Structure 1
Amino acid sequence: MVTRQVKIPATYMRGGTSKGVFFALEDLPEVAQQAGAARDALLLRVIGSPDPYGKHTDGMGGATSSTSKTVILSRSSQVDHDVDYLFGQVAIDKAFVDWSGNCGNLTAAVGAFAISKGLVDPERVPNNGICTVRIWQANIHKTILAQVPMVDGEVVECGDFELDGVTFPAAEVQITFVDPADDSDGGSMFPTGNLVDQLEVPTSLVASGKLKATLINAGIPTIFVNAADIGYQGTELQDDINSDAAALSRFEQLRAYGALKMGLIKQLDEIGARQHTPKIAFVAPSTEYNSSSGKLITTADIDLCVRALSMGKLHHAMMGTAAVAIATAAAVPGTLVNLAAGGGEREQICFGHPSGTLKVGASARQVDGQWQVSQVVMSRSARVLMEGWVRIPENSF
């Protein structure tokens, strides 16, 4: 029997410092329009995973956490929202799609795709000006607002907004993460109730057997530790970490201990099924360094340095969801992020990452002894790279 390829309408987009394959839910084969094994298998084949060679040669993925991404959009099922945004992080070397979190970078492209696909009520789309696309993030059940520029009824993609980690300038898209903390069931965005915890870890990981950490669930569950406590400066670039297999293994083990403390897993060995969340990041006071592009980042440019790992590797810039966590933690006096930035109350910070800098703002306040953040705001950009169809063998899902 001859196996044929099926064509599926798709758009390949950059959002922030990530790239992904975007689908309208109604364009997927019927069997993949519901969550389950068929949908996961389809997305794995589109990206080209699992790939033991780690190249994604036979798929649309780019063999990094920033480029092994998929998005499914549909008209929103929620009141006062335009579009439902479902994000799937595809593993590179495993047959696994992680649905546990959001991609903040690709959020910047959601609004443009939704408008172009007619998922936003035409009455809400101005011919000229800014279209506020109300996004329901279906993975984490949160509201995000995207300010998409319009001219002559079309989304503006080109412009002079520069984003470190992206080669060319584009149009600015302001993203507002509304009530980004996961305080469901009456809990705190600090899952242990503490601004700083002390993780009990093996002495093979940290000599003292103890590691200070700020554990926060805002944007995405994140474990923040001090760079100095684990032997780093906070100015490291990708190769400094990703070329060191022992370092990557150590970070993964520390991530497991943090996840256990956060209540995200019940046993350490369960961390393998949560590749996308939680993130682990290390922070340091403002320090001068050269970014991956060679640009000098001075202490006057930034409030602190942050490095974060995604899918087991140091990220080349900063995940958008982790930037939400950084902004939130920085706004709360006493967290490790806040202390690295100099302490005190602050509503905006600029942090240094491997590719340069990023400015983020957050509004935090205490209510009945609990810290709350009403919103986090940052600017990104997005652009359609290719549109048409992806093709995959008919027997692959």
Structure 2
Amino acid sequence: MTQLKIPATYMRGGTSKGVFFKLDDLPLEAQVAGEARDNLLLRVIGSPDPYAKQIDGMGGATSSTSKTVIVSASSQPDHDVDYLFGQVSIDKPFVDWSGNCGNLTAAVGAFAIHSGLIPASKIPENGTVTVTVWQANIQKTLLVQVPITDGLVQETGEFELDGVAFPAAEIQVDFVEPANSDGSMFPTGNLVDELHVPEVGSFNATFIDAGIPTIFIDAESIGYSGSEQQDDINNDPLALQKLETIRAHGAVKMGLIEDVEQAKARQHTPKIVMIAPPHNYQSSSGKQIASTDVDLLVRAMSMGKLHHAMMGTAAVAIASAASIPGTLVNLAAGGGEKPSVIFGHPSGTMKVGAQAEQTALGWVVTKASMSRSARVLMEGWVRVPH
């Protein structure tokens, strides 16, 4: 049988990359949520692959490169496009739709313009277009500031992003009211909780649902320094098992799942993030990061592996937690008011900010912001066996 030929664009956004589709370019049966859509995206990316290489697909065999995006004209008032994100498992046959990808958000604005989803009347000859995005996974509004030069998306530039080898044009991404709309930003009602994990131990944790559900733990409390590189964790099966066990019990504590076994089918959320006060370390590129360069150190797990830099959604959670006095993130950064922080990750540093205020209902984050970059890597068609 012949292969399906589907219009697609391969894009980098922040420190991630993925395959982007317009909703109405997908086969009819894949234009709605369900098994047909999941099977299509799995085959596009090359999963499940028992060799964990994704050789027969577009995936890059890491959580940062096993991603898919579906964009359409928005069904929401006062929004330009709807953005649906699918995190594709590498070695298992499932697509996780439970969260957003903050890094690829930067590419959604550019893709919307390239794809003709933004009216020409809204695009200046030179300047910036604010693309208002409805993030369908988490039901949130995102504002993507896309630079325009001579009527076209400006992709090249001098903005440098640790974790990306080459500079590009800067794109600011604002996450509007990033906290969970259905309940407290702190699911347990506390800024700090004690988490007991059988056969691992008990330690303090901050549980937050802002940007993406996230479990923050003090790196030292579970035997780490906070300056680990990928090989230190990813080549240690016992470390991976311990962190995944902590994540599963934390997910239960947050009310995301009822039983730790359910965490196996929910790899994308919640994230587990180790934090530490600043100290000197060397990034994966050989760059020396001094303790005076950062406010705190952060190491984040994504899809069962230590991330090479930082997920955009976890960066929102970091910014939100840092802005609220008393959380573990805030305390690691020195405490007090923190409208912005610079944190150290395996590839270097990153600055994020959040606007937080205390209300009668508790702490509220009205906006979190970061700078990313994005560009088209390839466009045309992706082919998939029937």
Quickly name the TM-score band, shorter chain normalised. over 0.9
| 1:377 and 2:369 correspond | yes
| 1:343 and 2:335 correspond | yes
Alignment of 1:360-375 (within 5 A): 360-375=352-367
What secondary structure does 1:225 align onto? strand
Cα distance in 2 between the residues matched to 1:80 and 1:124: 13
Cα distance in 2 between the residues matched to 1:228 and 1:246: 17
Q: CA deviation at 1:192?
A: 0.4
Given residue 38 of structure 2, which amino acid in structure 1 is its aligned partner?
Answer: D
Alignment of 1:221-232 (within 5 A): 221-232=213-224
Question: 1:141 aligns to what?
Answer: 139
**Retained in 2: the 8 A contact 1:82–1:121?**
no
**Retained in 1: the 8 A contact 2:54–2:61?**
yes
| 1:236 and 2:228 correspond | yes
Cα distance in 1 between the residues matched to 2:84 and 2:122: 22
Cα distance in 1 between the residues matched to 2:378 and 2:69: 15
Cα distance in 2 between the residues matched to 1:322 and 1:261: 19
Cα distance in 2 between the residues matched to 1:345 and 1:364: 10
| 1:150 and 2:142 correspond | no
Question: 1:205 aligns to what?
Answer: 200
Alignment of 1:251-270 (within 5 A): 251-270=243-262
Cα distance in 2 between the residues matched to 1:371 and 1:287: 30
**Retained in 2: the 8 A contact 1:82–1:135?**
yes
Alignment of 1:13-32 (within 5 A): 13-32=11-30
Cα distance in 1 between the residues matched to 2:119 and 2:251: 40
What secondary structure does 1:300 align onto? helix
Q: Which runs of 5+ in 1 are unaligned?
A: none
**Retained in 1: the 8 A contact 2:197–2:245?**
no
Cα distance in 2 between the residues matched to 1:126 and 1:196: 47
**Retained in 2: the 8 A contact 1:43–1:70?**
yes
Alignment of 1:91-106 (within 5 A): 91-106=89-104
**Retained in 1: the 8 A contact 2:6–2:25?**
yes
**Retained in 2: the 8 A contact 1:222–1:322?**
yes
For normalisation by structure 2, the TM-score amounts to 0.99
Q: 1:193 aligns with which of 172, 180, 189?
A: 189
Count of aligned pairs between the two proteins:
386
| 1:301 and 2:293 correspond | yes
Alignment of 1:140-179 (within 5 A): 140-179=138-177
Q: CA deviation at 1:369?
A: 4.7
What secondary structure does 1:316 align onto? coil
Q: 1:54 aligns with which of 52, 55, 80?
A: 52
Cα distance in 1 between the residues matched to 2:255 and 2:121: 44
Q: Which runs of 5+ in 2 are unaligned?
A: none
**Retained in 1: the 8 A contact 2:355–2:365?**
yes
For normalisation by structure 1, the TM-score amounts to 0.97
Q: CA deviation at 1:121?
A: 2.2
4+ residue runs over 6 A deviation: none
Cα distance in 1 between the residues matched to 2:354 and 2:4: 45
| 1:325 and 2:283 correspond | no
Cα distance in 2 between the residues matched to 1:82 and 1:37: 28
Identity %: 69
Q: Render the CA deviation track for 1:348-376: whole Å, top value 9, x for unaligned.
A: 10000000000001011100050000000
RMSD over aligned Cα atoms: 0.6
